Amino acid sequence: MRLVLDALHVLMDGVPAGLRMEEIGSAIGTFAGVRAVHDLHVWNISSGQVALSAHVELDNLDNWAGLLESARQMLQTRFGIAHVTLQPEPAGGINPVTARG
Ligand SMILES: [Zn+2]
């Protein structure tokens, strides 16, 4: 699990009170198959409503549907974040130079 902490620090100013970016990123990263989380944003969209977006690097994109649902439920129940946008990405980048058969 690798968190891109620089990106998190840059975005911390607008984070709703009581939410810790590192904690949220780590929570997403604990799901099986998640290699890293980056471009994590959390912000207020209206009174009492919090939105989140993040890029999630995965070992295997085939697992995405189940992971997305699990992550959405976790973010709702643990952090109270109802509006979640997660972008799945293959670990190692969108366009790997070498393809393995
Ligand atoms: Zn990305």
Extents of the domains making up the chain: 2-90
CA 99/CA 18 separation, integer angstroms: 43
51 CA distance to ligand 1 middle (Å): 18
User: What letter would DSSP give residue 49?
Assistant: E
92 CA distance to ligand 1 middle (Å): 10
Q: Say if CB 67 and CB 89 are below 8 A apart.
A: no
What tokens were used for 70?
Answer: 């699990």
Q: Residue 6 above 60 pLDDT?
A: no
3 CA distance to ligand 1 middle (Å): 12
Pick the more confident residue, 101 or 50: 50
37 CA distance to ligand 1 middle (Å): 8
Predicted local confidence at residue 66, as pLDDT = 94
Q: Residue 69 above 90 pLDDT?
A: yes
Q: Read off the pTM.
A: 0.75
What tokens were used for 18?
Answer: 């009581």
Predicted local confidence at residue 34, as pLDDT = 96
- 2-90 placed in CATH 3.40.50.720: no
Averaged pLDDT, 39-61: 90
Predicted local confidence at residue 101, as pLDDT = 43
Averaged pLDDT, 16-30: 89
Please tell me the number of Cα atoms within 13 Å of 44 on its side-chain side: 10
